[in-house]
Structure formats: C-alpha cells, structure tokens
Amino acid sequence: MPNNLLPAINLQPVAAGGLLDRRGFLSVGTALAVAGTTALTGQAAPLEVPSHSRVPGRSFLPYGEPSAFVLPVLKRGLGQPYGDIAPGAGSAFTPLQALHGTITPASLHFERSHSGVPDIDPAQHRLVIHGLVKRPLAFSHEALLRYPMVSRTLFIECSGNSFFQTLPTAQQLPIGMLNGLLSCSEWTGVMLSTLLDEAGIDPRGRWLIAEGADAASMSRSIPLEKAMDDVMVALYQNGEPIRPEQGFPMRLVLPGFEGNMSVKWLRRLKVTEGPVHSKDETSKYTDLLPDGKALQFTYVMGVKSVITRPSPRMTMGAPGFYEISGLAWSGAGRIRRVEVSADGGRSWADAALQEPVLDRSVVRFGLPWRWDGALVTLESRATDELGRVQEPRATWKARYAPGNRYHFNAIQTWHVDAQGEVTNAYA
Ligand SMILES: Nc1nc2c(c(=O)[nH]1)N[C@H]1C(S)=C(S)[C@@H](COP(=O)(O)O)O[C@H]1N2
Ligand SMILES: [Mo]
C-alpha cells in the first residue's frame, strides 16, 4: 500500500511502550499493512456455503435473547456479603469485560440493593409528594405516564464502586468485578421540577427526603436546588419500562451524583427544611478521613477512567497491533481528555474520545498500540471539563482513613507480562 494514502497516520510511537498516534485509530487496517505488524486477517479464500445458509433459519421470538455463543459470558457477577441470611442485600456487577460501546443493556445493568427487589404492581403503586408544599399530591403510574417526558444518557455509579481497589493487596478479578458498579443507560421520565412545581414548594422547603418502597425503605436527603435542576423520575431505561432491579415502576435519577441517591421504587418525597440524616447518609456512604472524622454528603462522583481492554484476567494474543479501549466518566460534566501510559505513568499519549461526549455520561476512549511482547504497565488518566484529574492511587489513599471504601477514583494499573497475562497491580 503506497504511503501517500496515509498522510495523517503517524506510525511512530508517540509514547513509550508502543503507544501510537490516536489519529491512526480509524485507519487500523492500512496501518497494519504498512507497519508490517501481525495481520489480524488471513488469506481470502473463496467462502464455503455453510449449512445454515442452505436451509431457512428459526422463526421469530416475541422477546429477543442473545446468541447462545455469547450467553455464557453475559453474566453479572454477584456479591452477597450476608449469604443466605439476606440474599437480596448486596450487588450484581456489570460484566464490563464482555461489553463494548457505552450503553449497558438493561439485563446487565449493575444492581445495588439493600433489601432485595420488591415485586410492585404499578396499578397499586403511588408516588406521594408532601411536607412543606402548598398542595400534597399522589401520582399513580398511569398519571405519570401522561406527563411530558425527557430522555438523557447518564451513568449511575455506586460510591462503593471499585472498593476492591481500596484493599491493601490488588485483587485479580475481571474488570466487571473491579469497576462494574457502573452502568450507563438512556433514561426517560418526567422532570422532578415539573411535579414539584405542581405541588408548590413552601418557601421554608430546602430539602427533599426521597423514600423507596423496598423492605429497606431506603431514604436519602436531596438538596432542593438539585431536585429543581436536573433530577428525573425515570420510567423507562433504554426504551423499555425500567426493570424491577432498577426500580420498577419508577425511580429517581440524579445525574452525576452518587448512585445511592437515585432512589429506586420511589414512593415518597417529603419537602423539609433540613436533611433527615438517614442511615444511608450517616452509617454508610460517608468517607472516613485519617483524623477519624467522616465526610458526609459527597454527592458529585469523581472523574474516573479504566482500561477495559486489555484488563485483568485477560490473556493477550501474539505481539503486534492492538487497540487499547476503555471507559471514562465524571459526575461534574463532560470528559475533556483521557491519556494512556504504557510505562507506568512516565510518558502519556492522548487517547481518541468517541463522539458524542455527553454530559455526565460514559465516554469510550481508544488508542492504537503495538505491543512488542515485553512487560508493560498500562494506565489511563481522565480529565473532566472542570479540570479535575485522576490521582495516583497513593495520593487518593493518603486523603482517607485506611478503611475508607467509598468514592475510589484513582488511576488503575494493569501489568501485561511477557506471556501476555494481564494482572491488576498497584503502582
Ligand atoms: N429503594 C432503594 N433505592 C436504591 C437502593 C436500594 O437498595 N433501595 N440502592 C441504591 C444504591 S446504593 C445504588 S448504587 C443505586 C443502584 O441502582 P441500580 O441498582 O439500578 O444500579 O440505587 C440506589 N437506590
Ligand atoms: Mo450504592
């Protein structure tokens, strides 16, 4: 292939460890030919006609399902810390290692539930708004469906996400277990401000107490400014009615805020003068500091990124061309930049961000890479539109008490050894 077809592609490494220019991203095929790296394709022999092309395929399904060839890997990992005593208290992790793009299929959205998934008949369910309001209101599911709706692609991340990465030794777990209390969906519903305007907020009202209809009655205090700004009472998830695990028939979605505040199975919103200090904002979801005090109300999720391919428990193929791919997100707005290092943070190259780069959504980044078969140390580092940058793990750890498990967003480090084994490593 003549070189003049590739004016924009820089095949010279732009950083140590074989990182290539991100503008080569879309021209990988030609880059492979020119770079003389291991070809990903074989010789094009005439195709045989397989048996499945000779007879009609199976008939229609009312409800689709994944190919049986991939079904075994499309599984959420389960964390049930109380075992049989409380099997519905814990988490199910999104298998990020099996997914690509940015949207999480509803069937694989992570789940964090404090007391199981209630089975709610939408015809019986009511959402009540009361407290410091002019007109207390009760909405049926049917009534809510008649309100104007908006759709937004937003991530939800549990503030306990990546808690394994806070432990003293690096756990060898798939990326979904390490970081899969994070999912991204298109959420559709009614703006909470519409419903609050209808109820009419008393001037003394400054906070909302949101309560779920599960056995945990999970409750959180929400500042009124947030509630009136961008909070949604979500009814649909990726186009379908939200799943029972995600809060059917309705849940709050608080863009960019810690997942715990997006109360599922929403049944009550009480307008109050102050926060209620529920168990989920006192005994849990607080950040323990070195001096023994705890930070309360850490709402906005940090800027964060992880390399999903390659990632721990994966094994590389032969040396040659690869795409480093990963996810970045921030609770404060858009991702502005993601850098990748293949030498443990000494040199960095800018990754390509896949459009559209949405506000408080997940972004897919990518970078072409020629792996030479030697040991490399891969890291990614995101910057958001506020200029917040991911810190090294040691810097993050030093800000908190050793036991703090919440809000981990430091740089994560993978080793690729000479056998191609990818492992989780602390820098
Ligand atoms: N009613 C209720 N709402 C809840 C929870 C819960 O247990 N009960 N879990 C919270 C937590 S800790 C998180 S991180 C998110 C998770 O949302 P998901 O399960 O849809 O991923 O829901 C929040 N809302
Ligand atoms: Mo959470």
Instruction: Determine the atom of ligand 1 nearest the C-alpha atom of 211.
Output: 1
- Asked whether residue 311 falls in the same domain as residue 367, the answer is yes
Read off the CATH number of the domain in which 351 is found: 2.60.40.650
Which of 291, 314, 336 marks a domain boundary? 291
The answer to whether residue 222 is domain-embedded is yes
pLDDT attached to residue 1: 37
- Asked whether residue 145 falls in the same domain as residue 205, the answer is yes
Instruction: Determine the atom of ligand 1 nearest the C-alpha atom of 258.
Output: 14
- Asked whether residue 258 falls in the same domain as residue 345, the answer is no
Q: How many domains does the chain have?
A: 2
Three state DSSP letters for the chain: CCHHHCCCCCCCCCECCCECCHHHHHHHHHHHHHHCCCCCCCCCCCCCCCHHHCCCCCCCCCCCCCCCCCHHHCCCEEECCCHHHCCCCEEEECCHHHCCCCCCCHHHCCEEECCCCCCCCCCCCEEEEEECECCCEEEEHHHHCCCCCEEEEEEEECCCCCHHHHCCCCCCCCHHHHHCCEEEEEEEEEEHHHHHHHHCECCCCCEEEEEECCCCCCEEEEEHHHHHHCCEEEEEECCEECCHHHCCCCEEECCCECHHHCCCCEEEEEEECCCCCCHHHCCCCCEECCCCCEECCCCECCEEEEEEECCCCCECCCCEEEEEEEEEEECCCCEEEEEEECECCCCCEECEECCCCCCCCCEEEEEEEEECCCCEEEEEEEEECCCCECCCHHHHHHCCCCCCCCCCCCCCEEEECCCCEEEEECC
Atom 24 in ligand 1: which residue has the minimum CA distance? Answer: 263
The answer to whether residue 339 is domain-embedded is yes
Q: Which of 342, 346, 348 is nearest to 383 (CA)?
A: 348
Dist. CA 404 → ligand 2 center (Å) = 14
Which of 233, 257, 291 marks a domain boundary? 291
The answer to whether residue 70 is domain-embedded is no
- Asked whether residue 283 falls in the same domain as residue 138, the answer is yes
pLDDT attached to residue 71: 96
- Asked whether residue 275 falls in the same domain as residue 334, the answer is no
The answer to whether residue 89 is domain-embedded is no
The answer to whether residue 72 is domain-embedded is no
The answer to whether residue 61 is domain-embedded is no
- Asked whether residue 325 falls in the same domain as residue 396, the answer is yes
- Asked whether residue 132 falls in the same domain as residue 262, the answer is yes
Q: Fill in the amino acid letter for 267.
A: R
Surface-to-core class of residue 41, CB atoms within 10 Å of its CB (0-12 exposed, 13-18 middle, 19+ buried) = exposed
Dist. CA 374 → ligand 2 center (Å) = 39
- Asked whether residue 308 falls in the same domain as residue 367, the answer is yes
Dist. CA 260 → ligand 1 center (Å) = 5
Dist. CA 89 → ligand 1 center (Å) = 11
The answer to whether residue 399 is domain-embedded is yes
- Asked whether residue 218 falls in the same domain as residue 195, the answer is yes
- Asked whether residue 272 falls in the same domain as residue 133, the answer is yes
Domain boundaries, position 206: 126-291
Which of 229, 261, 291 marks a domain boundary? 291
- Asked whether residue 143 falls in the same domain as residue 210, the answer is yes
Instruction: For the chain, 427 residues long, give each residue's pLDDT as a single digit of tens.
Output: 333 344 445 678 999 999 999 987 555 555 555 444 445 666 778 999 999 999 999 999 999 999 999 999 999 999 999 999 999 999 999 999 999 999 999 999 999 999 999 999 999 999 999 999 999 999 999 999 999 999 999 999 999 999 999 999 999 999 999 999 999 999 999 999 999 999 999 999 999 999 999 999 999 999 999 999 999 999 999 999 999 999 999 999 999 999 999 999 999 999 999 999 999 999 899 999 999 999 999 999 999 999 999 999 999 999 999 999 999 999 999 999 999 999 999 999 999 999 999 999 999 999 999 999 999 999 999 999 999 999 999 999 999 999 999 999 999 999 999 999 999 999 8
**Residues lining ligand 1, judged by CB closer than 6 Å?**
109-114, 156, 158, 183, 212, 214, 216, 218, 245-246, 259-260, 262-265
- Asked whether residue 205 falls in the same domain as residue 311, the answer is no
Residue for token pair 């084994």 = 421
The answer to whether residue 239 is domain-embedded is yes
pLDDT attached to residue 307: 98
Read off the CATH number of the domain in which 131 is found: 3.90.420.10
pLDDT attached to residue 427: 85
Regarding beta strands 413-416 and 422-425, do their DSSP bridges make them parallel or antiparallel, or are they unpaired? Answer: antiparallel
CB contact burial 129-164 (16+ within 10 A = b; e otherwise): bebbbeeebebebeebbeeebeebbbbbbbbbbbbb
pLDDT attached to residue 24: 73
